Amino acid sequence: MVKKNTCVFISGHGSNLKSLINYSRIQNFPINISLVVCNKIDANGILYAKKNSIPYLIVNTKKRNFENIIINEMKKYKISLICLAGYMKIISKKFISSYGKKIINIHPSLLPKFKGLNTFERVLKNNEIKTGCTVHYVNEKLDSGKKIIQKSFFINKNDNIKILKQKTQKLEYRAFSEAIIKIYRYN
C-alpha cells in the first residue's frame, strides 16, 4: 500500500497532530504526515513536527499571499490530503478550489450543532444530554461540509468545560484516525 502524503494544519497544542503521527506509523494506516503547517510561531504543536523530523511551515497570515505560499510548499511534498487539526483560521474558497483535493476538519461537537468557537460552554449552557466530535469534509462554509464520522458520549451532571474538553479530545483521536481509514477504504 502506498501511503497518501498528508499535510496537517495546526494553530495550538497539537495533540491531534501527535495522535495522527502515531497512527501514521502503523503499517496499514493509509497516510504519512509529510508536512505540518502552522499559523502561530509559538504553537506547542510545532514541537511534535520537530521531534519526529517532519518538515513544517510557519505562515504569517497577515501576508496577503500566505495561502499561495502554503499551496506551493504542499506541491513539493505531493500532498493529497489536508487534515485541519485545531487550525484557527478559515480556509478561503480560493484555497479550497486551487488545492482541489480532500480537506478534512475535526470539530468538538456533534455537528450541525454548535458550529464555531466556545463549543463546550454552549453545550453546557444548552443542557445537552450528549456531546462529542465530528470529522467532516471542508467546504467554503464554516463547519458545514459533509460528515465523515461522528462519535458521542453522555454528559454527566458534574462535567464542566475542562472535563468535557478532555473527554471530547480522547474521542477525537479515534475519530480522526477512523475517518481517514474510512475515506481511503471507500474511495
Q: How many residues bind ligand GRF (CB under 6 A)?
A: 14
Q: Report yes or no: 45 and 10 within 8 Å, Cβ to Cβ.
A: yes
Nearer Cβ to ligand GRF (107/167): 107
Identify whether 136 is a catalytic site residue: no
Give the nearest distance from C-beta 90 to ligand GRF in angstroms.
12
The contacts of residue 6 (CB under 8 Å, 6+ apart) are 20, 24, 31, 32, 33, 34, 35, 79, 80, 81, 82, 83
Out of 3, 13, 115, 151, which residue is the one contacting ligand GRF (CB under 6 A)? 13
Give the nearest distance from C-beta 140 to ligand GRF in angstroms.
18
Out of 31, 67, 108, 177, which residue is the one contacting ligand GRF (CB under 6 A)? 108
Query: Does position 107 bind ligand GRF by CB under 6 A?
Result: yes
Pairing mode, strands 147-154 and 130-137 = antiparallel
Q: Report yes or no: 30 and 102 within 8 Å, Cβ to Cβ.
A: no
What is the three-class DSSP state of 22? helix
Query: Does position 145 bind ligand GRF by CB under 6 A?
Result: no
Nearer Cβ to ligand GRF (68/112): 112
C-alpha torsion angle, residues 113, 117, 119, 122 (rounded to 10): -90
Out of 6, 15, 24, 177, which residue is the one contacting ligand GRF (CB under 6 A)? 15
Pairing mode, strands 31-38 and 56-58 = parallel
Give the footprint of ligand GRF on this chain (CB under 6 A): 10, 12-16, 45, 85-86, 106-108, 169, 172
